[in-house]
A and B are shown apart, each in its own frame.
Chain A
């Protein structure tokens, strides 16, 4: 016990001196960018690329004189992707005086942290939280994100189906899983709202030896389009069987289908299948540059959500710069009105806080490759 006590005393002294140091040296002279997210545990691979993106952006901005003449300082907090930990991370960042937040990473953790930032009047921007409600509920005016939420994909499918394919009625199939069924339900909701009749809504058992019954049923309802919610293995089985049974009904899937394995497995039957997937940004010069900076600094290719995080960091610091202060209302106004060049393209934020000019595109399989449909 005595030993423990001593250790504690030493630790707390250390802590105090470090706080005192940062306090005295940088007080009110830095812009503090909080970076909470999953930095350890199972989902660390989702969170760490964001920290690296923030480091790269901050290094570059500081080398050019910082924001509003001040250097930018990073406050990194690990929330392990857990909502119960995220509350503590958020409290800590607020009390450390964070000016803007880049995070969190996971949707659940983001939701847990947002209330604290809202009370403290701090803007938060996530590169990866995709639950639609975070922005659409209107509960968090301080929340922004540089990734398209799940409903965007469904809305894009509806838009494409009505404006390009001119469908009148559709069948929705899914694989009964969280991801697939979630997608299918969003599709049903938005297609119905668009006045299109959903004649069939059913789940199939993944891994079954044969899907001829469900394909026969689809034929009976004569939909103009089959919307698939789920991953590519079942999609390729169903599409192949439809084509083998001489059905020409159009087929559209989500980002679970936009995988090159789908084309490899379904072969000639994949031709003409539509799938929505993230927009291709590999030709954006800023994205190429960001990737190169990452390779130079860390000697490896960037990980998940890196481009979105890089863009979010740029957007946040740009907003502080344009706003001329770290004032909450001024930053929000800039985010809603000003465009900023990022690896994701020229982005701004709509009234809900979702980035405009980013998101998904519709692809069509043509000659064994996904081709973006304009």
Chain B
């Protein structure tokens, strides 16, 4: 019984961590390349979920089979959110690239509020039901009480996305350019790398992962509204900082640590203090490792 309970909490924390990870990846990639905390990232996730809802409703009405709906909705959400991410970078961050970092941060917060209110006005302030796009797999039925099919899909997707991102950054030409830009923008530009394009590409990739997250999570919790990106974004940001912002394995590890912390504290102590414990862990880790678990500490040159 007790081991069973532990396993369930462990799996619950793993799912929650995967959810955070899908959002945290975008934070950490953008930070890694231009040292900007993109506070509007949670809103991209929310827009992805809204696009997914609209497209899947239309397709379901047209009588498309479930699998087709999932694929089409995910593709539409990825394309739409990436377009938002790209435009956002061009409008709100590119003009401020050489401005003090605080200006870009304020711009990011402004973008976040703008997108939230835009969706509030253009769509609705109500909670909307989100269809369960991921069906209950029959072969999984014996384990469904431990971890549901959508949770399983979230876990696998996070793993796949993480592997793909690692391959992209480590083994492709554009990945090499991204690493170079992250290390030294001026030097990278001198060596013939189109820095602007690399930065745009980073935003597009980050937004795409957030959109995938948006669809999976919305179909897991079954509802969306314009405000859903805020709390999820904050938690994912904490996870990214916990793991070491700028580091991709760090973001994933930080997300799992945060997910497990919340899950176990809720399970063994009380959910009243879930957020309190989450932030205590953050503070404790930052005291001992100021750059996060896997972060590289950089000495500032004066």
Asked whether A209 lies within 8 Å of B231 as measured between CB atoms, the reply is yes
Give bound CA distance, A277 to B191, whole Å. 70
Q: What are the residues of chain B within 8 A of A212 when measuring CB–CB? A: 12, 15-16, 151, 263
One digit per residue, 1 when the CB lies within 8 angstroms of any chain A CB and 0 when it does not, for chain B 8-44 equals 1100110110011000000000000000000000000
Asked whether A214 lies within 8 Å of B266 as measured between CB atoms, the reply is yes
Q: What are the residues of chain B within 8 A of A264 when measuring CB–CB? A: 129
Q: What are the residues of chain A within 8 A of B217 when measuring CB–CB? A: 209-210
A208 contact from B5, B127, B223, B231, Cβ within 8 A: B231
Q: Does A371 contact B (CB under 8 A)?
A: no
* Shortest distance from the beta carbon of B34 to any chain A beta carbon, whole Å: 27
Asked whether A240 lies within 8 Å of B270 as measured between CB atoms, the reply is no
Q: What are the residues of chain A within 8 A of B275 when measuring CB–CB? A: 205
Q: Does B106 contact A (CB under 8 A)?
A: no
Q: Does A17 contact B (CB under 8 A)?
A: no
One digit per residue, 1 when the CB lies within 8 angstroms of any chain B CB and 0 when it does not, for chain A 176-194 equals 1000000000000000000
Q: Does B271 contact A (CB under 8 A)?
A: yes
Knowing A265-B128, A267-B129, the reply to whether A209 touches B12 (Cβ < 8 A) is no
Q: Does A233 contact B (CB under 8 A)?
A: yes
Give bound CA distance, A217 to B206, whole Å. 34
Q: What are the residues of chain A within 8 A of B228 when measuring CB–CB? A: 207
Q: Does B222 contact A (CB under 8 A)?
A: yes
Question: Chain B residue with minimal CB distance to A266?
Answer: B222
Q: Does A203 contact B (CB under 8 A)?
A: yes
Q: Does A3 contact B (CB under 8 A)?
A: no
Q: Does B174 contact A (CB under 8 A)?
A: no
Q: Does A204 contact B (CB under 8 A)?
A: yes
* Shortest distance from the beta carbon of B192 to any chain A beta carbon, whole Å: 42
Give bound CA distance, A264 to B227, whole Å. 19
Give bound CA distance, A204 to B223, whole Å. 17
B221 contact from A202, A210, A245, Cβ within 8 A: A210
Give bound CA distance, A208 to B231, whole Å. 7
A213 contact from B13, B126, B136, B223, Cβ within 8 A: B13
Question: Chain B residue with minimal CB distance to A204?
Answer: B271
A216 contact from B8, B150, B235, B272, Cβ within 8 A: B8
Give bound CA distance, A22 to B262, whole Å. 69
One digit per residue, 1 when the CB lies within 8 angstroms of any chain B CB and 0 when it does not, for chain A 234-274 equals 00110011001111000000000000010011110100000
Question: Chain A residue with minimal CB distance to B231?
Answer: A207
* Shortest distance from the beta carbon of A374 to any chain B beta carbon, whole Å: 30
Among B227, B271, B274, chain A packs the most CB atoms within 10 A around the CB of: B271
Q: Does A2 contact B (CB under 8 A)?
A: no
Q: What are the residues of chain B within 8 A of A203 when measuring CB–CB? A: 271-272
Q: Does A283 contact B (CB under 8 A)?
A: no
Give bound CA distance, A224 to B220, whole Å. 25
Q: Does B148 contact A (CB under 8 A)?
A: yes
Asked whether B267 lies within 8 Å of A213 as measured between CB atoms, the reply is yes
* Shortest distance from the beta carbon of B280 to any chain A beta carbon, whole Å: 15
* Shortest distance from the beta carbon of B223 to any chain A beta carbon, whole Å: 5
Knowing A213-B12, A265-B128, the reply to whether A207 touches B5 (Cβ < 8 A) is no
Asked whether A216 lies within 8 Å of B267 as measured between CB atoms, the reply is yes
Q: What are the residues of chain A within 8 A of B225 when measuring CB–CB? A: 233
Give bound CA distance, A216 to B263, whole Å. 10
Give bound CA distance, A134 to B65, whole Å. 59
Give bound CA distance, A245 to B147, whole Å. 7
* Shortest distance from the beta carbon of B14 to any chain A beta carbon, whole Å: 10
Asked whether A261 lies within 8 Å of B271 as measured between CB atoms, the reply is no
Asked whether B16 lies within 8 Å of A213 as measured between CB atoms, the reply is yes
Question: Chain A residue with minimal CB distance to B146?
Answer: A245
Give bound CA distance, A149 to B228, whole Å. 34
Q: What are the residues of chain A within 8 A of B129 when measuring CB–CB? A: 264-267
Question: Chain A residue with minimal CB distance to B270?
Answer: A202
Asked whether A220 lies within 8 Å of B5 as measured between CB atoms, the reply is yes
One digit per residue, 1 when the CB lies within 8 angstroms of any chain A CB and 0 when it does not, for chain B 252-296 equals 000000000011101100111011000000000000000000000
Question: Chain A residue with minimal CB distance to B272?
Answer: A203
Q: Which residues 130-161 of B sit at the A interface, judged by CB distance below 8 A?
A: 136, 144-145, 148, 150-151
Q: A204-B274, A214-B271, A219-B8 are in contact. List 9 more A-B contacts (CB 8 A).
A: A176-B272, A209-B20, A210-B220, A212-B16, A214-B266, A216-B5, A233-B225, A245-B144, A267-B129
By a beta-carbon cutoff of 8 Å, the part of chain B in contact with chain A is 5, 8-9, 12-13, 15-16, 19-20, 126-129, 136, 144-145, 148, 150-151, 217, 220-223, 225, 227-228, 230-232, 235, 262-264, 266-267, 270-272, 274-275
Name 26 A/B residue pairs within 8 A (Cβ), A-sorted: A202-B270, A202-B271, A205-B231, A208-B274, A209-B20, A209-B231, A210-B12, A210-B19, A211-B221, A212-B16, A212-B263, A213-B271, A214-B271, A217-B266, A217-B267, A219-B8, A237-B221, A237-B223, A240-B221, A244-B144, A246-B145, A247-B145, A265-B222, A266-B129, A267-B222, A269-B222
Closest 10 CB pairs of A and B: A213-B266, A212-B12, A213-B263, A207-B231, A265-B129, A210-B16, A246-B145, A203-B272, A216-B8, A244-B148
